Copies of this chain bind each other. A is one copy, B any other.
């Protein structure tokens, strides 16, 4: 039985607590939050869990084997480092840290101590993204041409990060997991509309070596919630709509090919193939349950985790570069791929 301590009981914390609480291999020992009304909620829902305003006490609690950090981004590094130093395994809500340097330091600390460091890239554990990864890896799509995602809704504005770190992070993590190559550079644009706040709309282009491109549109200012991703390959193309109640992933047997009979003066010699569409059955388990089990398993087995510190670092580096590019109106920022692969 692994003892769990959760720091932060805001928007996402309750989901983490519930999932660990319902897993037989774990026991939620304590939850900390600075807000008395959140602690009251913990006590009402989980009368047997210690609720405390003192995160330090939780991190030092000997019954706690693993710490879950679910606080604002700017505090991720400090809390995760403190937990590692106290000898705890750590699961950090996305993104892993505020800078790639912080991420690197967490990786080093966990490595040195032989502790599990995992980042909560939740979408990687969904049935939809796992299926997409499987289709890409199995060459069902052919050579990958592009990843294009729209992730927009109205609010919630975060106080310590811009919309890239809040929403685009999900797609950067999916790209990291699903695509057959890693991005080498980033160009981003964006804007802030509310005085004194960070960017609420952003557009990221991830550039790769070779004919592959990824683009993410993230916004807190859209009238509709949209979660739609296009993933195109030379043989087939996917539309992934996370808001569909079922058939979230649709595979289109469509493509283009050079047509030797076309009239070059008027139109390209490009022909179109159009075949069946197919929506594979997806695993409908809750992603967070799959993820928390994966974390617990890694603690027990010393097995590698899918979304480890290095995945967290690669994602943070893209976010960091995108924010930098955005400030320079789209000026491309190179990713130091050697350092990220270390």
Interface residues of A (CB under 8 A from B): 10, 34-35, 47-48, 72, 145-146, 148, 150, 152, 154-159, 185, 187, 189-195, 197, 201, 203, 205, 207, 211-213, 215, 217, 219-225, 230, 232, 234, 237-239, 243, 245-247, 252-254, 256, 258, 263-268, 270, 272, 274-281, 325, 328-332
Contacts and interface: CB of A to CB of B under 8 A. Distances in A.
B256 A146 contact: no
B145 A221 contact: yes
Contact of A215 (B158, B203, B266): B203
Nearest to A266: B10
B192 A211 contact: yes
A150 B229 CA distance: 12
B223 A239 contact: yes
B191 A189 contact: no
A239 B224 contact: yes
A103 to B, nearest CB: 23
Contacts of A225: 245
Contacts of A194: 256, 258, 268, 270
Contacts of A192: 211
Contacts of A148: 201, 217, 219, 222
B189 A256 contact: no
B270 A281 contact: no
Contact of A331 (B220, B237, B330): B330
A254 B154 CA distance: 8
Contacts of A268: 156-159, 194, 197
A191 B146 CA distance: 9
Nearest to A159: B268
A195 B277 CA distance: 27
Contacts of A217: 148, 215, 217
Contact of A278 (B201, B207, B221, B277): B277
B207 A190 contact: no
B281 A276 contact: yes
Contacts of A156: 267-268, 270
A281 B276 CA distance: 5
Given A230-B222, A254-B223, A267-B157, A191 B203 contact: no
Contacts of A222: 148, 230, 232, 237
22 contacts: A35-B266, A47-B48, A145-B193, A145-B221, A152-B230, A157-B268, A158-B267, A159-B268, A194-B256, A195-B258, A197-B270, A203-B215, A205-B330, A221-B237, A222-B237, A224-B230, A225-B245, A246-B277, A278-B278, A325-B330, A330-B331, A330-B332
Nearest to A148: B217
Nearest to A222: B230
